[in-house]
Amino acid sequence: MGDGVSRARGAIAADAAHADPALWINRLPDDLILAREAILLAEGPQGRPLHGLTFAVKDNIDVEHQLTTAGCPGFAYLAQRSAPAVERLLEAGAILVGKTNLDQFATGLVGVRSPFGTPRNVHSAEHVPGGSSSGSATAVAAGIVDFALGTDTAGSGRVPALFGGIIGLKPTIGSIPATGMVPACRSIDTISVFARDIATALRVHAVMAEFDPTDPYSRRAPHAHLRRPALPPHVRVGIADIAGLCCAPQEAAYRRTAGLFDTAEVNIAPFLEIARLLYDGPWVSERSAVLREVVETQPDILHPTTRHILQGGLGRLTVDAFDAFHRLAHARRLAEELFTRIDALMLPTAPYTPTLAELDADPIGPNARLGTFTNFVNLCDLAAIAVPTGLGADGLPTGVTLIGPAWSEARLAMIAARITGEDLPPDPLAPDETALFCIGAHMSGLPLNSQLLTLGGRFLRDDRTVTGYRLHALGNRPGLTRAAGGASIAGEGIAGEVWSLPTAAIGALLTQVPAPLGFGTVQLETGPCLGFLAEAEGVAGTRDITALGGWRAYLAEFA
């Protein structure tokens, strides 16, 4: 707002131009929106990170003194307090515009399961907008608000982002308090963020992220997971064989986007199998448990498709649930191992964009297909960000989703920025971090890099030592030593990477480093830095590879 532009008036004008009453369940009056902006203008930014940005809230999230309907008028209640996530956004200076439509009780990926109508897809009125966060995604895609809150259990924060051609950030489960949100599957739900750029999505997530002791599924972040790293030169992206799973435009966009990275083929069959459990396993019963009283005593207030799904969850057997839990534990272990080998898994966000006519003919089938690449993500406790990749030959948006382990949102965002072309600078070294110079298997793309990432490591930059160091091959890792007496060595020094680590984690990493390696001060071209060093006695008789200039060069020649 400091540039004299009224975002509130812009939101009101854009909403009038878009003219879609099915987008909102409760759009705030113009005078209230403008009054909020006037107060913020008078106060000034005061360090508030979202000062003057406009936003919308999916109507299964509480806003004080507003009805929460969850897309079901017969269920509606007046919220006495805003959800903590909403409170933090307002404290950060954001301007609420209204509450948006959704697939009833967040049950669906299509956006048509609402008694309040179907929000219009901004790219094609003949196609679904995607759900369940249909109104939130559409409000951003139509340029009405700067960002919007959705929720995501099976892909509701990602699929409508694809169909709107916008960003959909699905945070780590438990990183944002779920208090004040009507649950779908309480154990795997999360509030999600829609925005038109990655930086805004991250900024909004950072404002909302906190541990909430009143939320039994809230989790303490193991490190400052939203600090942005620099993008390493050796990013490893896993890709899958998607032949026959997607429409031609989505498949073409996926293959084209994969060309931006060094890729590794990944077998996603175990994850696709787990994905099917979300609507054919105990998590259907978890949805039913939340609304058991409604399903059993007031089924007529439910949308017919929602009622069909929820009633089906009441009769499932507990013994089958344990079979599903064991299969899920296996899939989670596979995911854990997978992300020691790759930095992100890239998949199409959804196979295709169904038409409204297809949903009229078959309310269930297209919805199930839309969850092909999204349903497993929350089940496997992963983070994800959906990004647009342009328009396909059919004129509809294409997009991919980058998936990583829990607490990897910032790293995924930096990889995503390579796809969108967004200029997303890394965060500088923080006071509670220590820079560490790595010269071997801990570098990006190499086998021990996952040790750094698990401890909250962030790539900062490529660097190299000054002359005066020797590098030795110690089997599967190198040893760096200072030249005896500080003698000068011809060459350009030893190449490596500087990573930041939480200072409190340095000791934990050191316990994983075998003798004769340890840490000491290394003189880099950019100045002194803590780094990997070897004891001189420990490298006696080993191969001197100094002339190669670094471990990667050694691997390229001899591995």
Whole-Å CA distances, 342 to 234, 269, 553: 10, 17, 21
One of 58, 170, 175, 408 is an active-site residue; which one?
Answer: 58
How many helices and strands in the chain, by DSSP H and E?
19, 21
Q: What is the DSSP string of 281-304?
A: SHHHHHHHHHTHHHHHH-GGGS-H
Q: CA angle at residue 255 from 124 to 418, to 5 degrees?
A: 85
Q: Which residue in 156, 175, 218, 288 is the catalytic one?
A: 156
Is there a catalytic annotation at residue 175? no
Both tokens assigned to 369: 């297909």
Cα 380 from chain centroid? 13
Residue whose tokens read 């297209």: 366
SS (H, E, C) 307-330: HHHHHHCCCCCHHHHHHHHHHHHH
Nearest 5°: phi and psi at 550?
A: 165, 165
Q: DSSP letter string over 81-150?
A: S--HHHHHHHHTT-EEEEEE--SGGG--SSS---TT--PPPSS-TTB---SSSHHHHHHHHTTS-SEEEE
Q: Which two tokens stand for residue 208?
A: 């909302």
- Tell me the C-alpha distance between 161 and 133, whole Å: 9
- How many other C-beta atoms are found inside a 10 Å radius of the C-beta of residue 20? 20
Residue of 82, 99, 114, 132 marked active site: 132
Q: Annotated catalytic, 58?
A: yes
Active site residues: 58, 132, 156
